[in-house]
Structure 1
Amino acid sequence: MFLGITNTPRDYAWGSVTAIPELLGRTVTGAPQAELWLGAHPGSPSVVVNPAMVGGADTLLDWIDAEPQTALGADRTGLPFLLKVLAAAAPLSLQAHPTPEQAREGFEREERAGVPIDDPARNYKDPFPKPELVVALSERFEALSGFRPVDQTLAEVAVLDAGSGRLGPLTVHLQHGLEDTVRWLETADSSAGAIVQAVSDLALALPDDALTPNLATVRDLTTSYPGDPGIVVSLLMHRVTLAAGEAMYLPAGNVHAYLDGLGIELMAPSDNVLRGGLTPKHVDVPELLRVLDFTAYPAPVLTPEPVDAGVERFAPDGVGFALLRVSGDGRPVGLGTGGVAPLVGPSIAICTAGAVTLVGAESATLLRQGESCYITPDEGDVTVEADGGSGIASTVFIATGA
């Protein structure tokens, strides 16, 4: 079965006013629209377009709860992913996610302590990890992700300091390593606060032609979040710019913050976020430091694997989900000759450009730009046919198991 689904975008303050409505072909309301959730997460389950197809269930979660074998197949008890359209017009919080072991231990610890599940100060809403990947839809998708080698940060600190001597303490901590530096900044003692102010002052005073991507980020964050330790932590991180179609993967322990852009995000269906700044929300510094991976890695770009004509698969190891991207150039194709998307268990598709027909073992459906559907396992692998002869390029993303 191909079941049409939709949802109402989340109105988080950092969201873009226009990006999601333009993608979905909806009216721009003037309010921010940050995330469109496609899945069965109880926080915002997808709405069923035609409830009569599934016995009157209004949401995907309702149907799965009522008829799990029909919805998911006899061997599956829940969706292993949450698919999102994300549109950032301002920085998201600096954050990291736990490993499976850390999530389970943290959840059980807060359960024993009697912390209400809806308490804003609760860190672990569930006992699961939250690995995630994002593929850029906009021409540029800007983010901070992962720690870079310390020598790169030291070089930019030297440019920023320009002989003033104000950043000497930061240089000393960096020479002791990333963990020492982040711990000092996040504990927010008076010396760390003075460094945040000094970095902010010096970045604002730099001429535009002296700004590197990281120093430009510092200047932007200084304006948005004055006095926040995340301003200086951003100097320790990779400033990542994804072009449309490029992707990155954010594993457990990876410190990151999306800055600007429209993308498709796929993650495990968890709410476990440990924040480190750039937010008015709860920040638990000891817990954040416990889950952070302080290893300096290259920028975490994720390269897709080609699996068929026009079909690419983004699939990090060990996460239990994969994202397929199927692209067509708008030329006519005969039925059955389009790219074949290999699916594992229940899946969700969203068309982000043009129009496509999804052909499964039992039925078929047409998806136009902005439309999405849930795919039951009995459809098997799905052939994706472009809207032949239209001359309009098409793209559909399909979240599935791995």
Structure 2
Amino acid sequence: MFVSIDNTPRDYAWGSRSAIAEYLGREASGGPEAELWLGAHPGSPAKVTGADPETAPDLVALIAQDPAAVLGERIAALGPRLPFLLKVLAADAPLSLQAHPTPEQARAGYARENADGIPLDGWNRNYKDEFHKPELIVAVSDRFDALCGFRSPEEIEALTLLLAEADVAATRAEGGQQGAIDLLRGRLQGPDGLRSTVEWLLRDGRGGDTGQVAWIVERVAHLSGSDAALASPHAAAYATVTDLARHYPGDPGLVISLFLNRVTLRRGEALYLPAGNIHAYLQGLGIELMAASDNVLRGGLTPKHIDVDELVDVLDFRPLPVPFLAPIETMPGVSTYRPDVDDFELHRVDVGPGAATVAITGPAIVLSVAGTLHVSGAVSDTDVPAGGAAFATPDEAELTFTGTGVAWVATTGSGYARD
């Protein structure tokens, strides 16, 4: 069965006013359009178009009518819930620094906060459900900028050393008081230095009598345009701090951003962000696919609640390579992004002049972004116009695309179909 679906973009303040509309060939709303959600997440379930609104107004209601038929028996027995959420994301300003828990952390945190009586919509609630939230982002704009994961200790030492040298020179010239950057470097070089420093910044760095964050950011601003900074391999890190400070003045995340990898994706390049990887999307248009969860531990660049204890327990402080995920050509015209989780995988389908086929082992969502495409499955078929979307049930088994255009197909990984 194929069902046409649609939704209204979420109007978060950081969203672009034009990027999603232009990408999908729609009329812009005039306000910020940050994320178009295509899935069955209760926060904004996709609307089922052309159906009786009293019986199946959205995907949540459609699944509830017959979970085994809509999701497949294996997934229905586990939930029933659609395990993934497909988004078109358009960032015109930086999002918050954040990380997501493992399945074990999510289950334990959800049970603990329920036992503590914290309302699901409470301002201090971390765990809205029992599920992990790994994420995949694919750039569809010419560039997509992000922060993700911690740099190596050697890189952090080099960029803070240059900052300290600039601080000494500036302090002598201005007759000011030196100390914040020395304190920062001292903490970084102590036992469990990175964790200790992140915790200190989030607890004590914002203000009070010390104002350590403001002092460090001021020194970064002085340094970022200098010959020494521009000649260093860390010029982008310093520039990122000054850019972020325009949006989040005084926020501890400004200093934490120095410790993170600064990444620019080109069109078609992707990041896969597993549990514990601290990250923030800065600017750009992307296709995002994630496990369907609301569990977010924030770590700065936000006025929202930050649970420092829980965050540092969830964060992976190891210096790891930037988690690029290269697509593989699974068949002609089909590029597949396949992370190491069963919750989801993503296919980019270039259709024309011949047919292109995607095998599915669970439910799927098709989003056409160029051209009207005809999609045939094992039991039915449908047309998906440019900017339109359709939900496919698992019994369609294999989706064959004809016409001319481009589609994104989100579905579960093959492991989800196994007992």
- The interval holding the TM-score normalised by the smaller chain is over 0.9
In the alignment, does 2:399 pair up with 1:382?
A: yes
94-103 vs 207-216, which moves further = 207-216
For residues 182-205 of structure 1, the C-alpha deviation after alignment (integer angstroms, 9 at most, x for no partner) is: 122122256996431222112222
- Partner-residue secondary structure (3-state), 1:76: helix
Which of 215, 218, 225 does residue 207 from structure 1 map onto?
Answer: 225
In 2, Cα distance between the equivalents of 1:357 and 1:316? Answer: 28
- Partner-residue secondary structure (3-state), 1:51: coil
Partner of 1:120 in structure 2? 123
Partner of 2:203 in structure 1? 187
Partner of 1:391 in structure 2? none
Distance 1:41 1:184, change over 3 A: same
What stretches of structure 1 of length at least 5 have no aligned partner? 388-393
- Partner-residue secondary structure (3-state), 2:246: helix
1:215 shift after superposition: 1.1
- Asked whether the 8 Å contact 2:86–2:287 carries over to 1, the reply is yes
1:308 shift after superposition: 0.2
- Partner-residue secondary structure (3-state), 1:90: coil
> Match for 2:102: what amino acid?
T
Partner of 2:60 in structure 1? 61
In 1, Cα distance between the equivalents of 2:54 and 2:122? Answer: 35
343-352 vs 203-212, which moves further = 203-212
The correspondence of residues 141-180 of structure 1 with structure 2, limited to 5 A, is 141-165=144-168, 166=178, 167-176=181-190, 177-180=193-196
Which of 382, 406, 411 does residue 395 from structure 1 map onto?
Answer: 406
Distance 1:137 1:193, change over 3 A: farther
Return the TM-score normalized by structure 1: 0.92
- Asked whether the 8 Å contact 1:193–1:227 carries over to 2, the reply is no
224-233 vs 360-369, which moves further = 360-369
1:112 shift after superposition: 0.6
For residues 213-255 of structure 1, the C-alpha deviation after alignment (integer angstroms, 9 at most, x for no partner) is: 2111101111211111100100000001110111001100110
> Match for 2:100: what amino acid?
H
In 2, Cα distance between the equivalents of 1:138 and 1:50? Answer: 32
- Asked whether the 8 Å contact 1:357–1:365 carries over to 2, the reply is yes
- Asked whether the 8 Å contact 1:23–1:369 carries over to 2, the reply is no
> Match for 2:89: what amino acid?
L
Percent identity reads 51
What stretches of structure 2 of length at least 5 have no aligned partner? 169-177, 414-419
Distance 1:208 1:39, change over 3 A: farther
For residues 16-56 of structure 1, the C-alpha deviation after alignment (integer angstroms, 9 at most, x for no partner) is: 1111111222222321111111011111100011105x984
> Match for 1:248: what amino acid?
L
In the alignment, does 2:352 pair up with 1:326?
A: no
For residues 308-333 of structure 1, the C-alpha deviation after alignment (integer angstroms, 9 at most, x for no partner) is: 001122121134211111124x4x33
Distance 1:75 1:192, change over 3 A: farther
- Partner-residue secondary structure (3-state), 2:322: coil
Return the TM-score normalized by structure 2: 0.89
In 1, Cα distance between the equivalents of 2:408 and 2:21? Answer: 18
For residues 333-374 of structure 1, the C-alpha deviation after alignment (integer angstroms, 9 at most, x for no partner) is: 3xxxx2221212111111123332212112222223211110
Aligned residues: 389
Partner of 2:416 in structure 1? none
In 1, Cα distance between the equivalents of 2:407 and 2:403? Answer: 10
1:305 shift after superposition: 2.1
- Partner-residue secondary structure (3-state), 1:75: helix
In 1, Cα distance between the equivalents of 2:383 and 2:145? Answer: 32
In 1, Cα distance between the equivalents of 2:238 and 2:167? Answer: 17
Partner of 2:309 in structure 1? 286
> Match for 1:196: what amino acid?
V
- Asked whether the 8 Å contact 1:131–1:319 carries over to 2, the reply is no
Partner of 1:245 in structure 2? 268
- Asked whether the 8 Å contact 1:135–1:248 carries over to 2, the reply is yes
Partner of 1:73 in structure 2? 72
